[in-house]
Structure 1
Amino acid sequence: MSQKFQVTGMSCGHCVSAVQNAVQAVDPEAQVTVDLATGHVDVQSEQPRQDLVVAIENAGYAVQ
């Protein structure tokens, strides 16, 4: 299922990788697309939304 997140606090390629890795730690099969300029993160995953939000927040970013 496709899930969309608005993530703040990302400013560079390292941030993009950190968000991708955080999501894939919860679901290694997830497809993660991050638009650094807008803060939009699209995730293809069957994991519960809250699990993905917690993973992103634990990586140091805010999810709105």
Structure 2
Amino acid sequence: MYQLQVEEMSCGHCVASVTGAVKALDAQATVQVDLAGKQVTVASSATLEAVKAAIAGAGFPVSAAR
């Protein structure tokens, strides 16, 4: 499970974009978004780097991850 800080999310559309980017990478992934906290929690078989790249590719740079 990965926890990522995604500072540029500000609305429901942002949440949908981030979720869609991860799901496009791994359709079985579980994505939970805390919009107020700017955090995304992902359970996926994809690597952390791949998840970060997918989110960044959707226009939302990841500022921190663990």
Pick the TM interval, shorter chain.
Answer: over 0.9
Amino acid of the structure 2 residue aligned with 1:49: L
What CA distance in whole angstroms lies between the structure 1 residues aligned with 2:8 and 2:43? 22
Tell me the alpha carbon deviations over residues 13-37 of structure 1, each in whole angstroms, 9 at most, x when there is no partner: 0000000000000000000000000
* Structure 1 position 62 matched with structure 2 position 61: yes
Runs of 4+ in 1 over 6 A off after TM superposition: none
TM-score, scaled to structure 2:
0.92
Q: Gaps spanning 5+ residues in structure 2: where?
A: none
Helix, strand or coil for the counterpart of 1:28? coil
TM-score, scaled to structure 1:
0.95
Give 1:62 shift. 1.3
Aligned alpha-carbon RMSD (Å): 0.6
Structure with the higher strand share, 1 or 2: 1
Residue equivalent to 2:37: 38
* Structure 1 position 16 matched with structure 2 position 11: no
Aligned length: 63
Helix, strand or coil for the counterpart of 1:41? strand
Q: Gaps spanning 5+ residues in structure 1: where?
A: none
